[in-house]
A and B are shown apart, each in its own frame.
Chain A
């Protein structure tokens, strides 16, 4: 494997995306909604109705999963719980946002008839597939990272003092820096595999949606308090996902069937 070919194709993917910014619009919109929604729930609605979050017994009970945090009031603890939960939206954002890009990655090249000259170059299948995954992931990861920075900034400004400090923990760092990108890599690599096996981009996207379902289930379980993962568990989960990605990347080379792909799609 040479990194020059991988970097070149990755650069092409990013350049192509920058010339087609509309493709990134859904990710930017999700980032914006993810910024507005938690503050509407945790800050604006209680302020407008005059009913502090701490008055809701159910919320007080469920917020305990986020830890005791004696330095915070009952309302602050609920804010912490809610803001922690909405962090998961940022975790899902690179996956959902990049899914359409990844699903289109190979089948799109085939439909545009650009795949054949590309396959005629010395680029290996592994380089091709990894460049495609990174080309879909990195731009959306950057948008979600910008959204995340804005999110923490808004929590620092609008939430009860101490909430943002309580949010910055090993658990959050592992979740955002390890589990998020690793889960995205796994999902997008799977989407690329699908993209290389189907006949059109719409089919690839339909299958891609199925990949998001288990991740959404984890998100819902976390939100309802049914599931709360410790920092250690999250660390192992992240490493496990990276391992799965490597296996999947190798597996996707076999499934790609480079020497049959042009005729299989006829």
Chain B
């Protein structure tokens, strides 16, 4: 079974990032959301309407899906590819819709090129333009910046920001944790099942269990004996002291006073916020280890 016991909701004007290792079920989850795979149990609901065979055609009109592979027709030009999709969405003004995405995605120079002639990045761009052709209110994007150069990837992220501001509900599957952290309102960590679902900062707090970072001038190790009097688990690395007590806790001001009295130049005191990558690795490895024990 690719995914099991996965439940989440996405509001309009929200970006949810699905992250997880290869084979975690991200693409399967996206396909289920797009109505391409029927779940063996459970359901997908869009604005209170269950996605079924009977409602699929109508609901798919509102969904823009960027598939894992761009899936362009190689013998057809970019404009022909887009024009056919405009017809499949039965758009009232198909040519205008095609012109709009050609302009938005800066595809004018490639519009007459056939699919087979395009670079990987350009194919991805055309596929993205195709997903937005019918102005969907729900966007499902499977690895949207995969294969794109940094400049285009950045413009895609800006575009997603714009779509979110316009009220679009967006689900992005990505391996790029930095992108997920910067872009998403919430992050779902998937590994066959849902390991975590929260705002990136909240996920980070789960991992740190409330550690505090104290940065001092010079070598932190010189001040470690002072800190150990407050916290036996403290450690020093470079100019940083890591204290296992929470930042908001009552002992931190006393610790800082002690450090200053001992002659330390305290430059910064802040709660430890690990990168999403650290949280992700922790969650996935922890789940794998538990899986090994279960197995």
Contacts and interface: CB of A to CB of B under 8 A. Distances in A.
Interface in A1-47: 2, 4-5, 7-9, 11-12, 15-16, 19-20
Contacts of B76: 12, 15-16, 19
Contact of B67 (A2, A120, A124, A263): A120
With a 10 A CB-CB cut-off, give which of A7, A118, A120, A124 has the most chain B CB atoms.
A120
With a 10 A CB-CB cut-off, give which of A9, A259, A260 has the most chain B CB atoms.
A259
B63 A113 contact: no
Contacts of A19: 75-76, 114
Nearest to A124: B57
Given A4-B90, A15-B80, A117-B65, A259 B35 contact: yes
B127 A260 contact: no
Contacts, number: 89
B175 interface: no
With a 10 A CB-CB cut-off, give which of B28, B37, B68, B70 has the most chain A CB atoms.
B37
Interface stretch (B12-20, B81-89, B252-260, B273-281): B81-89
B31 A117 contact: no
A262 B114 CA distance: 26
A122 interface: yes
Given A113-B71, A122-B89, 5 more contacts: A9-B87, A12-B76, A112-B73, A116-B67, A120-B34
A119 B30 CA distance: 13
A262 B69 contact: no
6 contacts: A16-B73, A112-B74, A114-B73, A120-B67, A121-B88, A260-B38
A8 B37 contact: no
A259 B53 contact: yes
Contacts of B65: 117, 120
B60 A113 contact: no
Given A7-B87, A8-B87, A117 B71 contact: yes
A123 interface: yes
B57 A9 contact: no
